Amino acid sequence: MKGRQCGQAMPLGIALILFSILSAFVVYNTGQSASQKARLVNAADAAAFSGLQWQARALNFAGYTNRAMVANQVSLAQAVSLASWSTYGMIMAENLARVLSPIPVVNAISQGVETVMSTIEATVTPVAGAMLQVIDKVNMGVSTAQEAMYNASYLATPEIVKAVATQTDSEFRVETAYTMAGVAKNLHEWNEFSERVGDDRKDYDKVRERAQIIQDSRDAFTRARDWSFFDGYLYVLPFFKIDLKKEGETRLIGREGDNGLEWEWKAKDSLSLHTKVRVPFRGWKGVEVPIGYGMAIANAVDDLTIEEDACMSRWDCNTWSDHNEISERMADTNYLSLNGSDSRVEMSGYTELNGFRRLSETTIDAAFPTIKLRVEVELPAGGVSSSNGLVAGQKFTMPTEMPGNAMSSVSVAEVYFKPPQADHADQQGRHIEFANLYSPWWDVRLAKVSEAERLAALTLRGGTDGVSVMPGMIPIGDGEEGQVHLIQGEQTPSDGSSEETNPGQGLVEYSLDTFGEMADQAAMDAANDAKNRIEEQLVGVLEDAVAQVLSGSVSNASGGLVTAEDLKQWADGIRADTNQDQSEATATTGAARQEMDKLQVEFERLDAVVSARFEQAFEEQAEVYRTRTSYLRSTVSGYVGRQIGLFERVPTGNLSEGQRDTGQQLDQHKDALIVNLSRIYRDIVNEETDRFEMDFSMARDFVTTALASYDSQDREINWELFQIAAPAETLGTKEGGTREEGTQDEEENEEGERDDS
């Protein structure tokens, strides 16, 4: 049977409709809240991230400017190096021109080189001086700009935070107690993150550290200008080797003066001919013959130099050189060239190592230092769309409850250091560059918001309109052992009553607008101050420098005979000739090199073969000489008041008229010994080799050098031995005036060879 259905569907339907409407209101409110929450999160992230971008750029600016100041100091070293090098070249050219002036053809070449080097020196030195002053003042300006950027950078952060938040939505508010506390803590971290290094005594070690960085950054030309012409000593005779050694260096020297640390750049260049002579029974004896020398110095002190034990006015001092000690001392003491030119350039315009900013010791000790900025962006509850505005009356309203009657989002950003190669470091941590203010690898990232941060924001929220904390306080952050420090200091209502209030209330009124006003004024003041100081330091110097560079110093230096265009054409001509003859020169050089190598092998063989024979003959001749001249040497020693060397020649000018006969007799014995040993040496060498023929003059030069070195193992060589002044008829004579065995023709030939030499 079919049953009958009956009942009331309307009440159930109405209830279902009401439930659906209420659900729709809930879904609408939830959607609006989620949408606004997402916008708040994005705004808070953007505000925190953008607020720290300026600080990261300030740190990168410090990195760029620190690098620039170091590079500029190296440029100062280059200027001093160029002045020293050009002076050395001029001195070398003048000395060679004077020495080679009696030689036809060669004298014309040497005089041309002298003119060119003098012109180069007259051009380079003033330009280097102007360059020194300009770069030094530029460094001052860079140092000033670095500090101005630092001082203005933090104050820009609050305004950036507010601008980003409010331009996202005009109803968004960022001036909450949590934001102000975060800005205050960011200021503290910024102040503690780096430090200014200046002239204070506490900064001396840090300035010296900077000086070492500059020293290590010198380019190859500034660091060392050394070369050896023969790449080692070259035999020119058996028992006789030569080398041409060039040395040059530039150093940054400092000392602690009455007014703080003082600095100077000093450069030295030298060129010397070095000879080594095998002295019988004494080994190899080295002799240095100075050719060129120059020095340039730049400082801002009253003294000529600040270097301790410098050779500025004395010879018993320390030198930088490994080989050219005599040449270096000549440059230090401003020893004039043979033309009377100064070898020392004293440059003005250098001041100091300018102040700079570096990471603080606390920051350096941290493994991965960061600077954080905490931001809270809130939207008042009235700004959140809800169903309350869609219905009339109170029966179906769905109020949205929020702490502090506002919706908010908290974001934390941090500045961190990460060089590009950090991702490629190995597991041992090698190749990692740690945080510093020399590399511009500072960037910003969002950080995780801890539960402590959320709790701090929640606690500070509520009834805090226009209220904040003082920027000197550190009110939030993760404390030790899990504690959360919210607000330091007493918290009392702003009206002075004793009633309890919210943690964010009762503090000094301090808004982001106030920060912004301070930022505008401070940034303007810092920019104007930096602009004025830089203009004051640079404008006059730049004008003078340009005037010096463009004054036509090349033409003036050469008396109008040589211009810069002449030098260019001369250089182009040399380059063209060199390119044209390069293949022929290469072939010729290769053949000459092969012949030279063969000759070196032969000389090395002769060293071993000839040394034994000649040293035996030398010992026999020296013993005869020692015996025959014992009385004469003793007498002359009494005349001069000291014991003279076995082969020492005493200048007759040091003896009285009655004593000169004895001195001349002793000199005649020395001359006879030189002639006898020269013959022996010549004959031994010619018997042992057929690669070349040793003549009497070559043998005599070697013997004379050997005798001069014999008594000078720890002293300068007695070059008086080279002044053989005995009459020709006494050469080769024995004591008593009898002539040594030998033919008249041989002796005449020897005398002719001596005249030719």
Domain range for 626 is: 590-756
Q: What is the mean pLDDT of the chain?
A: 75
Query: In this structure, are residues 453 and 439 in contact, taking their beta carbons and an 8 Å threshold?
Result: no
Query: In this structure, are residues 704 and 644 in contact, taking their beta carbons and an 8 Å threshold?
Result: no
CA 536 to CA 526: how far, in whole Å? 15
- What percent of the chain clears pLDDT 90, i.e. is strictly above it? 22
- Where does the pLDDT of residue 450 fall: very low under 50, low under 70, confident under 90, or very high at 90 and above? confident
- Where does the pLDDT of residue 557 fall: very low under 50, low under 70, confident under 90, or very high at 90 and above? very low
Q: 643 versus 733: which is more confidently predicted?
A: 643
CA end-to-end distance (rounded Å), the chain: 156
Kindly tell me the sign of the dihedral angle through the C-alpha atoms of 517, 518, 523, 528.
Answer: positive
Q: 369 versus 102: which is more confidently predicted?
A: 369
Q: Residue 713: which residues within 8 A CB-CB, separation 6 or more?
A: 282, 285
Query: In this structure, are residues 64 and 440 in contact, taking their beta carbons and an 8 Å threshold?
Result: yes
CA 704 to CA 718: how far, in whole Å? 10
383 in a domain, yes or no? no
- What percent of the chain clears pLDDT 70, i.e. is strictly above it? 68
Query: What does the pLDDT read at residue 470?
Result: 35
CB atoms inside a 10 Å sphere around CB 32? 15
179 in a domain, yes or no? no
Query: What does the pLDDT read at residue 49?
Result: 94
Strands 344-347 and 406-417: unpaired
Spatial CA neighbour of 384 closest among 362, 400, 366? 400
Which whole number is the average pLDDT over 691-716?
75
694 in a domain, yes or no? yes
State the angle between helix axes of 177-193 and 106-168 in degrees (0 to 180), rounded to the nearest 10.
Answer: 160
489 in a domain, yes or no? no
614 in a domain, yes or no? yes
Q: 80 versus 503: which is more confidently predicted?
A: 80
DSSP 8-state class, residue 734: P
3-state SS, residue 738: coil
3-state SS, residue 499: coil
- Where does the pLDDT of residue 459 fall: very low under 50, low under 70, confident under 90, or very high at 90 and above? confident
702-to-232, 319, 383, 670 alpha-carbon distances in Å: 20, 30, 106, 15
The total number of structural domains in the chain stands at: 1
Which whole number is the average pLDDT over 14-25?
72
Query: What does the pLDDT read at residue 75?
Result: 93
Token pair of 121, please?
């020196």
Query: In this structure, are residues 383 and 40 in contact, taking their beta carbons and an 8 Å threshold?
Result: no
622 in a domain, yes or no? yes
Segment 307-342, tens digit of pLDDT: 887 887 666 677 898 889 889 999 998 999 988 899
Spatial CA neighbour of 252 closest among 54, 446, 80? 80
364 in a domain, yes or no? no
Which whole number is the average pLDDT over 509-526?
55
Segment 657-674, tens digit of pLDDT: 878 888 888 888 989 999
Residue found by looking up tokens 């008396």 in the block: 559
Phi, psi of 224 (to 5 degrees): -160, 130
- Where does the pLDDT of residue 3 fall: very low under 50, low under 70, confident under 90, or very high at 90 and above? low
As to burial, measured by CB atoms within 10 angstroms (0-12 exposed, 13-18 middle, 19+ buried), residue 475 is buried
Query: What does the pLDDT read at residue 480?
Result: 39
- Name the pTM for this structure: 0.70
Single-letter residue type at 644: I
Instruction: Tell me the DSSP string of 231-269.
Output: SS-EEEETTEEEEEEEEEEEEEEEEEETTEEEEEEEEEE
669 in a domain, yes or no? yes
Query: In this structure, are residues 669 and 628 in contact, taking their beta carbons and an 8 Å threshold?
Result: yes
